[in-house]
Amino acid sequence: MTEKPSNITGTPADRPLDWANSRVMSPADAIMWRADDDRRFRAPVFAVELYDCVPEWNRFVAAVDWASRMVPRMRERVIDSPFGVGVPTWAVDADFDLNYHLRRAAVPGDGTWSELLNAVEAIAMTPLDHARPPWEAYLFTGLPDEKAAFVVKVHHAVADGMSTVLGMSMLRSTTREHQLDKPQPPAARPEQPGPSAVIGNQLAASARLVPTILGALGDGARSFTDPVGSVRKAIDFGLSARRVSGLASPPHSPLLAKRSLSWRLSTFDIRFVDLRAASKIAGASFNDAYLAGITGAMRLYHEKLGHPIDVMPLALPISLRAEGDAAGGNKITVGRVAAPVSIVDPVERMHNIREQVLLARTEPAAGLIEAVGPVLAWLPSELLGFAGKTTSVNDVQASNVPGIRHDTFMAGAKVERSYPFGPLPGCAVMATMLTHGSTGCLGINHDAAAITEPELFFDCVVDGFGEVLALAPDAEPVFRRV
Cα(349)–Cα(291) distance, rounded to whole angstroms? 9
Lowest mean pLDDT of 88-102, 303-317, 391-405, name the range.
Answer: 391-405
Lowest mean pLDDT of 86-100, 353-367, 439-453, name the range.
Answer: 353-367
φ/ψ of residue 353, rounded to 5? -65, -40
CA angle in degrees (0–180, nearest 5) for 66-70-76:
100
Q: What is the largest CA-CA distance in the chain?
A: 73
User: First CA to last CA across the chain, in angstroms?
Assistant: 27
- Alpha-carbon distance values, 403 to 2, 109, 308, 327, 476 (Å): 18, 32, 35, 16, 21
pLDDT number for residue 83: 77
φ/ψ of residue 252, rounded to 5? -75, 160
The answer, yes or no, to whether residue 405 has pLDDT greater than 90, is no
The answer, yes or no, to whether residue 243 has pLDDT greater than 80, is no
The answer, yes or no, to whether residue 310 has pLDDT greater than 90, is yes
Cα(241)–Cα(264) distance, rounded to whole angstroms? 32
Whether the CA torsion 2, 3, 9, 13 is positive or negative: it is negative
The answer, yes or no, to whether residue 11 has pLDDT greater than 90, is no
Write down the number of H helices and E strands in the chain: 14, 15
Cα(59)–Cα(318) distance, rounded to whole angstroms? 38
The conformation of residue 270, written as its DSSP 8-state character, comes to E
286-304 and 272-281 are packed helices; what angle lies between their axes, rounded to 10 degrees? 90
- Alpha-carbon distance values, 423 to 58, 155, 348, 386 (Å): 31, 10, 30, 18
pLDDT number for residue 391: 65
The conformation of residue 177, written as its DSSP 8-state character, comes to S
pLDDT number for residue 478: 98
Residues in the chain: 482
For 94-128, letters b (16+ CB in 10 Å) and e give eebeeeebbeeeebeeeebbebbbebbbebbeeeb
Please state whether the predicted TM-score (pTM) of the whole model is above 0.85: yes
- Alpha-carbon distance values, 150 to 17, 105, 122 (Å): 22, 10, 15
Lowest mean pLDDT of 102-111, 248-257, 348-357, 430-439, name the range.
Answer: 248-257
The catalytic residue among 101, 156, 436, 446 is 156
pLDDT number for residue 5: 33
Cα(130)–Cα(137) distance, rounded to whole angstroms? 16
- Segment 168-189 mean pLDDT: 85
pLDDT number for residue 329: 65
The answer, yes or no, to whether residue 212 has pLDDT greater than 50, is yes
Q: What is the enclosing helix (H) or strand (E) of 471?
A: none
What domains does the chain contain, in order, with CATH numbers?
251-406+420-480 (3.30.559.30)
pLDDT number for residue 1: 38
pLDDT number for residue 215: 54
Give the CA dihedral 349, 355, 361, 362, nearest 10 degrees.
-160
Lowest mean pLDDT of 117-131, 235-249, 298-312, name the range.
Answer: 235-249
| 5 compared with 48, residue with greater pLDDT | 48
Lowest mean pLDDT of 211-215, 287-291, 397-401, name the range.
Answer: 211-215
Nearest to 163 by CA among 29, 290, 288, 304: 29
Please check whether residue 143 is in contact with residue 108, taking contact to mean a CB–CB distance below 8 angstroms: no
- Segment 97-105 mean pLDDT: 97
Residue 406 annotated as catalytic: no
The conformation of residue 439, written as its DSSP 8-state character, comes to E
- Alpha-carbon distance values, 477 to 72, 316, 369 (Å): 42, 25, 39
The answer, yes or no, to whether residue 113 has pLDDT greater than 60, is yes
The answer, yes or no, to whether residue 12 has pLDDT greater than 80, is no
The answer, yes or no, to whether residue 292 has pLDDT greater than 90, is yes
pLDDT number for residue 242: 64
Reported confidence tier of residue 232, pLDDT bands at 50, 70, 90? low
pLDDT number for residue 39: 81
Please check whether residue 468 is in contact with residue 294, taking contact to mean a CB–CB distance below 8 angstroms: no
218-228 pLDDT per residue, tens: 544 444 455 55
Reported confidence tier of residue 390, pLDDT bands at 50, 70, 90? low
pLDDT number for residue 246: 62
> Chain-wide mean pLDDT for the chain?
85
Q: Is 479 helix (H, G, I), strand (E, B) or coil?
A: strand
pLDDT number for residue 202: 73
